[in-house]
Structure 1
Amino acid sequence: MQVPHAGRLVAIVDDDNSVRTAVGGLLRSIGVPAQVFASAEEFLRSANMDQVGCLVVDANMPNMSGLDLHQTLLGQGNLIPTIVITAYPSDHVRARAEQNGVRRLLTKPFNDDDLLRAIHDALS
């Protein structure tokens, strides 16, 4: 699948190294610039935040969840299109994601094509 990125970075934030590595590698393999972060706090300290066109974030991480990160960014006026991934989908997570304008909620394990389609939609 072709993903239009116009040089915009896709940030992957997940405390699971295997997920970060797999998603980052998938995106780079099709020519989409990607940067990985092990935590929400690490992402918030990033100097590249203004280059991020899409955020792929895990819903369940220590200290600051992906949904908390998304809400923090919104509060700062940072309207980065966000895709939340989770191994533990629940009505609470779905409702909170929907209320805060998350673009897509994907359940782990997800299909590469579903993730690429979600990123394509977020960057379009």
Structure 2
Amino acid sequence: MGRTRSRRADPPRTAFLYQGMVIGLFPADYSEFRKSNTPQRCRGFACGVSPRNPVNPAVLVSIVEDDELVRKATENLIRSMGWDVLAFDSADSFVASGAVYRTTCLISDVTMPGMSGIEMHALLISQGCAPPTIFITGYPNAQDEAIVLANGALAYLEKPVDANTMLAQVQLAIGAP
């Protein structure tokens, strides 16, 4: 007679929204939680499937950076991986563009004229449409890092950002192997 082995179950991961923040989630699980808890009006392309090609995922990485050289360099790096890129020189222009509804991964500067990257992320969270976000900054500080990570950002990276580090974070955000 065969024995049945009892398998030790992993403790359930409970995630919930508290004042617009995702609580109790590991970064690797954030994108799945975001997809299942995104309001219908924001789900247009949350799963990353293009209406032109419903089988293959379409990845759109949006970059919000006020420094043109950093924006262009990041854009070229992401494009070299074969992913679609939209670049914006301010948080206001990104929010006004409507691209947030199609964005698979957002790379944002923290300090910008007008709306900061942190304020933009908080706005997107309050609207229920925040894509997985990677913050980059030339002025790192512990307070900003704590805020963005508590609000569900995937990373808080100091400029200049190593290309391999950036690509690894983007791959984590889009679920690429």
Q: Give the structure-1-normalised TM-score.
A: 0.92
Instruction: Give the corresponding residue for 1:86.
Output: 137
Question: Which aligned pairs between 1:7-26 and structure 2 lie closer than 5 A?
Answer: 7-26=58-77
Alpha-carbon distance between aligned partners in 2 of 1:47 and 1:68, rounded to the nearest angstrom: 17
Match of 1:60 among 83, 108, 111: 111
Instruction: Give the corresponding residue for 2:174.
Output: 123
* Paired residue secondary structure (1:31): coil
Task: Report the residue type matching 2:132 in the other structure.
Answer: P
Q: Structure 1 regions of 5+ residues with no counterpart?
A: none
**Superposed CA RMSD:** 1.1
Match of 1:28 among 79, 99, 105: 79
Task: Report the residue type matching 1:50 in the other structure.
Answer: Y
* Paired residue secondary structure (2:104): strand
Higher RCO by CA contacts (8 Å cutoff, separation 6 or greater): 1
Shift of 1:8: 2.1
Shift of 1:98: 1.7
Matched, 1:98 2:111: no
Question: Which aligned pairs between 1:70-81 and structure 2 lie closer than 5 A?
Answer: 70-81=121-132
Alpha-carbon distance between aligned partners in 1 of 2:87 and 2:65, rounded to the nearest angstrom: 8
Q: Size of the alignment, in residue pairs?
A: 120
1:78-123: CA deviations, max 9, x gaps? 1310000001110111111122111111100010000000000011
Q: Give the structure-2-normalised TM-score.
A: 0.65
Instruction: Give the corresponding residue for 1:44.
Output: 95
> Which structure has greater helix proportion?
1
Give the percent of matched residue pairs that are identical in Structure 1 and Structure 2: 38
Q: Structure 2 regions of 5+ residues with no counterpart?
A: 1-47, 49-56
* Paired residue secondary structure (1:45): helix
Is contact 2:100–2:131 with CA below 8 Å preserved after alignment?
A: no
Shift of 1:23: 0.6
Shift of 1:49: 2.4
Task: Report the residue type matching 2:146 in the other structure.
Answer: A
Higher CA-based Rg: 2
